[in-house]
Amino acid sequence: MLAIPPLAAEPIFNIGSFPVFNTFINSSIVLVLFMIVGVVLRKKTAEIPDKIQNFAESILEVILGYMDQVTRDRRKSLLFLPIVGTLFLFILISNWIGLLPGIGSIGRHLIMHGEVQLVPLFRPANTDLNMTLAMAVLTIVMTHVFGIIAVGFFRYANKFIKLGDIWKSFRKGGMSIMVAVIEFFVGIIEIFSEIAKMVSLSLRLFGNVFAGEVLLTVIGGLIAFFVPLPFMFLEILVGLIQAIVFSMLVLVSFTMATAEMHEAH
């Protein structure tokens, strides 16, 4: 019976003082696939597209179509496409590669916690909380970058730190001072909500993918033939859904950050 994968990714070998984890190997494979596909598509790009170019363009059109439903603006969709589209494809391919034969079963016998254990050489990239957290941090940082570019630094910063409103309220007096103080603390809450978004995005993706990995490991350890197949098809669907949910949440954040203040309200 295969051991249930631990929460933390396992180091396979070291390059100098740099440990290489099994999830890093899987994510590197996905990046290499992206590079190969990118080089092939770039060489085959022509005014009269062939089947490969038609397939790639159709995928982009589908992604842009869904993005347009959120942004209501093709220019914004094209602006967000490199990040949103890359995250969607990276999460999707990473999840599906984790279902290939040998992932989680081919490994090295290493001493872990004082015992000799089989450590898988390959592990789905999104079962590493470091990976999902890195994508969530990138998302929040780029959200603020797009927001600053769209409405200006001071106007965007006023969404979080409303010191200017407090200063203006002293001139007006009365209830405006109390309203300004309340809005100031609301801005502080907005800062904590941004941190909560990072935690939510990272834990949602990590938890769903890791739970699927544990489920397949347990089912495969109990009954190796035929019975795991329905669960594998279910994980194919879950991998697609998680990629869509993560990328759509990212797109909504980008869209709201770049909306004018009155539009956001």
pTM above 0.95, yes or no: no
d(CA 248, CA 70): 8
**pLDDT tens digits for range 24-73:** 888 999 999 999 988 888 887 777 777 878 888 888 888 898 899 999 88
pLDDT exceeds 60 at position 224: yes
Kindly report, residue by residue over 62-80, the tens digit of the pLDDT. 889 889 999 988 999 999 9
Q: Are 104 and 120 in contact (CB under 8 A)?
A: yes
- Mapped onto helix, strand or coil, the DSSP state of residue 108 is strand
What's the chain's average pLDDT?
Answer: 81
pLDDT of residue 163: 59
The domain segmentation of the chain, as residue ranges, is: 11-264
Question: For the chain, how many residues are written?
Answer: 265
What pLDDT shows up at residue 175?
63
Average confidence (pLDDT) over 231-238: 86
The percent of residues in the chain predicted with pLDDT above 90, rounded, is 27
Q: pLDDT tens-digit profile of 153-203?
A: 888 877 777 655 665 665 665 666 666 667 777 778 888 888 898 999 999
For the four alpha carbons of 183, 189, 194 and 197, in that order, the dihedral sign comes to negative
